[in-house]
Amino acid sequence: MKISDINIKIISDSRGKDTLEAELKSEDFSAKASAPAGKSIGTHEAFVLEPKLALKKFEEIKTKILSNEFESQENFDNFLIELDGTPSTSSGQAPSTSSGQAPSTSSGQAPSTSSGQAKSNLGGNLILSLSLAFARLKAKNERLELFNYISHQSLVVGRKSKNLLRPIFNVINGGAHATHRESKLEIQEFQVIPEVDDFNIAFSLGKIFYRKLGNYLKDKFGSENVFLGDEAGYSAPFKNNEEAIECLAEIIEKYKYPLKIGLDIAAAQFYRDGFYIVDGKKYSAEELKNYYLKLIETYNILSIEDPFNEEDFSSFALLTTELYGTNAEQCGKLVIADDLTTTNIERLKIAINKKSGNAILIKPNQIGTLTETLKVIKFAYENNWQAIVSHRSGETLDDFIADLAIGVGAWGIKAGAPAKPERLAKYERVLTIQNANIKM
């Protein structure tokens, strides 16, 4: 495919921060895509280039892109990867164990130095917006829906028997995503996951639950104390983490909703010098594991993401084995790696080798291209791991991840609470695709 023109512009994300939107044109079509931004950013993620600098970088490469023809997605993505020239394993260092690890920063800022980070030359955000816009444009040229185009990529051999896609609603926002100053929640996401086999029903259930929870929290804390966090879940002056889980459990139990609870711990955010500070107490990895085992049993928790620091493959493995024994791939419950693996195949290989979970969170902007994202998913599937496709806390109206989740037959899609346009866009795109019943 010949690209006839490209434009990059700066748009605002859901936090009002600058981000990039790419528009690619071919003879007959044009397509746009934009880059989201995380706040609890994994150390091994692709580098985020300051958008104004990214515009300058783009001017340097624009004619190179326009003077080429690209037969395939892989062709285009590899071209960008080569132009960038940095290795895709972020720090270029072998991951170390949790002990003696420097504390991760929780500032939510992109790291100030880019040395050694993947995509640090052109910026993962510039590369991603180009890669995703290319996918949309190529799909249009091939007269395919985007999810079909994705599922036709030879890289996805994965699911023959299609997974049922579940929405994962983040209804209480803690950690770096909390907006109430008196929130004492270290855990970042308190989720509900519908256990129904129809996305329409699952979505309605999510919205009903979200409203009920809002009223419940307003009664409990006073309406002046119930805010919305970064991912549209509620933020309120919770005193401790279990209190938030109890609220979800109580409503689920009262109305007998077919919902399970999920948690994204994002533990790297409260890891300091070998210990974890939770509810004002200092926990070793072993003590924290026992704390999780109790929570999981008490509240019948379905999935737990990033339970330990982002370098601690071993503690992830211990928790997975204690929970599921040798049955991790079949048990239906999940230990999910996000900051641990950062959608990076080299990190996923280590995690699979060490049995550090049974599912990987997929965030295309952690790695920077669609091709690399699909390779990670393929590798996960080949090793019987599940994939959950995810938004970022700083989002745009781009709904690419909905097509990605359907195209690869993901276990779930994590797009925040069922509220606010940038979150709803993803869930609604899934509904549009499923209700149109377009054949894959």
By CB under 6 A, name the binding residues for ligand PGA.
Answer: 38-41, 188, 264, 266, 338, 390, 392-393
**Does 23 engage in binding with Zn ion (CB under 5 A)?**
no
> Site for Zn ion (CB under 5 A): which residue of 21, 310, 338, 403?
338
Sign of the dihedral defined by the CA atoms of residues 35, 41, 44, 49, in that order: positive
Q: Indicate the residue among 229 and 409 with the shorter CB distance to ligand PGA.
A: 229
Cα–Cα distances in Å, from 26 out to 7, 67, 129? 12, 13, 16
Segment near Zn ion (CB under 5 A), from 110-118, 209-217, 312-320, 335-343? 335-343
Min dist CB 49 to ligand PGA, Å, is 17
Nearest C-alpha neighbor of 306 from the set 13, 90, 43: 43
Residue 173 binding: pick among Zn ion, ligand PGA, none (C-beta 5-8 Å cut-off by kind): none
User: Are 122 and 56 in contact, with CB atoms under 8 Å apart?
Assistant: no
Q: Residue 157 class from Cβ within 10 Å (0-12 exposed, 13-18 middle, 19+ buried)?
A: exposed
Min dist CB 414 to Zn ion, Å, is 8
The helix (run of H) or strand (run of E) holding residue 297 is: helix 285-299
Residue 38 binding: pick among Zn ion, ligand PGA, none (C-beta 5-8 Å cut-off by kind): ligand PGA
Strand partners, 438: none
- 92: which residues sit within 8 A by CB, 6+ positions away? 116
Helix axes 313-324, 345-353, angle to 10 degrees: 50
Residue 407 binding: pick among Zn ion, ligand PGA, none (C-beta 5-8 Å cut-off by kind): none
Min dist CB 37 to ligand PGA, Å, is 7
231 is catalytic: yes
Helix axes 124-141, 370-382, angle to 10 degrees: 80
In the bound state, the residue with its beta carbon closest to ligand PGA is: 38
Q: Indicate the residue among 264 and 312 with the shorter CB distance to Zn ion.
A: 264
Cα–Cα distances in Å, from 286 out to 82, 103, 215, 312? 43, 18, 37, 12
Q: How many residues does the chain have?
A: 440
Residue 80's SS3 state is helix
Q: Indicate the residue among 305 and 422 with the shorter CB distance to Zn ion.
A: 305
Residue 417's SS3 state is coil
Min dist CB 39 to ligand PGA, Å, is 3
Q: Indicate the residue among 1 and 37 with the shorter CB distance to ligand PGA.
A: 37
**Does 145 engage in binding with Zn ion (CB under 5 A)?**
no
Min dist CB 265 to Zn ion, Å, is 8
d(CA 222, CA 236): 9
Report residue 208: phi and psi, to 5°: -65, -45
Q: Indicate the residue among 245 and 401 with the shorter CB distance to ligand PGA.
A: 401
Residue 393 binding: pick among ligand PGA, Zn ion, none (C-beta 5-8 Å cut-off by kind): ligand PGA
Residue 32 binding: pick among Zn ion, ligand PGA, none (C-beta 5-8 Å cut-off by kind): none
> Site for Zn ion (CB under 5 A): which residue of 77, 264, 372, 398?
264
Residue 392 binding: pick among ligand PGA, Zn ion, none (C-beta 5-8 Å cut-off by kind): ligand PGA
User: Are 227 and 219 in contact, with CB atoms under 8 Å apart?
Assistant: no
- Which positions from 271 through 290 interact with Zn ion, judged by CB under 5 A? none
Q: What is the dihedral of CA 319, 322, 325, 330, to 10 degrees?
A: -50
243 is catalytic: no
- Active-site annotation holder among 145, 231, 372, 395: 231
Q: Indicate the residue among 343 and 369 with the shorter CB distance to Zn ion.
A: 343
Amino acid at 116: G
Token pair listed for 366:
């952690």
Min dist CB 264 to ligand PGA, Å, is 5
Min dist CB 347 to ligand PGA, Å, is 15
d(CA 304, CA 282): 20
Min dist CB 317 to ligand PGA, Å, is 20
Are β-strands 166-173 and 30-34 bridged in parallel, bridged antiparallel, or unpaired?
A: unpaired
Q: Indicate the residue among 61 and 268 with the shorter CB distance to Zn ion.
A: 268
Residues of this chain that interact with Zn ion (CB under 5 A) are: 264, 305, 338
Among all residues, which ones are annotated catalytic? 231, 363
